[in-house]
Structure 1
Amino acid sequence: MLSETVFRSDDVPAADRFDHWHDLVNRTHAPLDMQSDHRKDFWAAQRLLDLGAVSVWLTAFKPMRFRRTPRLIRQSDPEGVHLSLPTKGPLRTTRSHHEIEYGPYDLCIFDTSRPAEFQAGDVPGRHAGIGLEIPKALLHLPGKSLDTLVVRKLSMREGFGALLTHFLGQLARGTDAYRPSDGPRLGMVAVDLVSALFAQALDADDALPPETRQRSLLLRIHAFIEHNLADRALTPAAIAAQHHISVRYLQLLFQQQGETVMGRIRRRRLERCRADLGDASLRVLPISAIARRGGFATPADFSRAFRSAYGVSPSEYRHAAHAGDLGAATRTGGPE
């Protein structure tokens, strides 16, 4: 599991909850002036994920106001970029007399070196969201481009925005599959996605370092493969054409990751089918239909590939999954 810091206001005496939350945010983010109409019955919860130089916030709290003032900036400035993705309740900002309201799938960008005011949430209810903090030095932003980005509302429904939303959503659902040493690598994935998103918004792809452009391209290719696993016409040639690169360059990208293009497609198809077989809501779906959903040409092809990867037939795996005895039915490992 990744390194996490968890805060729940219920663990603090009621009279101290707001002040405790205020101190926590000031220590882990940047000094802020914070006010709330709910000081007496304040509630907040937070998971802070440590990804090396990058951190991810998963927060929920009663409506409140934040201000980053010139005095507080002089007091302390981590020189970072904070990205907020509301998941419940609006987030309103005022910067240089420019007001914006953000909702779900809108990305709010905040420069810790610039004054700003925020209103998070409405009465009644709680505000919730996912935050991402990245040092400015890691983003390779040209000129004063950050000044342009902070007064824009970037959509997270498509392109790199959708990839970033999916990445943050996976972290929000849990980090049990990761080791603490994976944190810095996940942090660099976040940096690459944000860098590519900003470059796309600014039409400044050339400003990205070559290694960031390459990693961003690979992330797009992975997302394309995930979206098209059921398509039996998914081939290296089709993937290369979609991304305007040669098949040889595509294969080189995957070789650098220690796998082949078709090897990844096969592995992800099997992993998706295995998940479907273990899904109780799909229990009545025939195995042949699961094979088709996974992109296998015939049930026989699927059965052979599944047994080779997991040591049992699809039907045996499904039975064991719903009996809660997967360890006894499958061998250690998975598709290579």
Structure 2
Amino acid sequence: MAHRLAILKRHLEGANCASSTENFRYTVNNRFLTREQRQFYEKNGFVVIPRLVDPERLETYRDRFEQISMGFVKIDLMTVMRDVAYAKTNRDRSPITKLQNFQDDAVLFDYCRLPSVLDYVSDFVGDDVMAMHTMLINKPPDPGTLSSRHPMHQDLHYFPFRPADRIVCSWTAMQRVHRDNGCLVVQPGSHQTVGRLLPHDYPKWEGGVNKMYHGVDYSPDMPRLHLEMNAGDTVLFHPLLIHGSGTNRTMGFRKAISCHYASSHCSYIDVKGTTQEGIAKEAEGMAKKMLGFPISYTDTWKVRSRLVKGVEGSLSQSS
């Protein structure tokens, strides 16, 4: 509460007022972003907000993850993912590396409804907000295969809705994240210097690649920045930003929780004949295996999306 009051006071005092001569494309407001933060995002495609989520909340999410991991709680339609290297040896005992689509779990989905997060999200997508994709990431200690890496990619590759500028990811560190345990790596400014969705495919890694870990053709010589963060720090980033994460070289798991948001007034697109046609077919296959019947790529997104602020639009389940 104190955090929000401080931001609101600064707003009322006019500290957030951007110059009327400035042109902003990737943000719509600066009610909670400072002018400097807004300018930074426009240029770089990401911005880190320190201490945005309370430690007590993070502990609640951690406890829930443990309950799910031990089988005490089962959530409908949630996807449980495991590292390919562990799964090859003993899948049933291999550690969970990611929970996806936890929109039907009130405990974890609490993150997507946090006013402290939605305040900032609204400055990127507007006041009518849909939570589209949820993840709790539990990056495991790498067993020597380097499979704990996540290839450099653009999140828009997975999304059949536009416009891209009205989509933003909120990614919160649940503990100290750094280069040793595989923090996020970003290519600053790639959302505008590349400016388009690139072709994605599975990288040819000797140790194997995790399911749905698609990447772009990316040279290690290209400029990149490692985002080392403390628990509760939150990075908000554009879906065209090229990013990934490194190998976890520690003995512990690295946890983070995230949600992709979009304006409820975005529209679904037909990905047939585009670079996204492959991911659509792969996702439809996974959905059919889980549900037992076929479902379109667009409908998989309608099922998992939830209105979290404002009014419904073209992305809602009922439209």
Larger radius of gyration, structure 1 or 2?
A: 1
TM over 0.5: no
- TM-score, with length taken from structure 2: 0.28
- TM-score, with length taken from structure 1: 0.27
Larger RCO (CA within 8 A; separation ≥ 6): 2
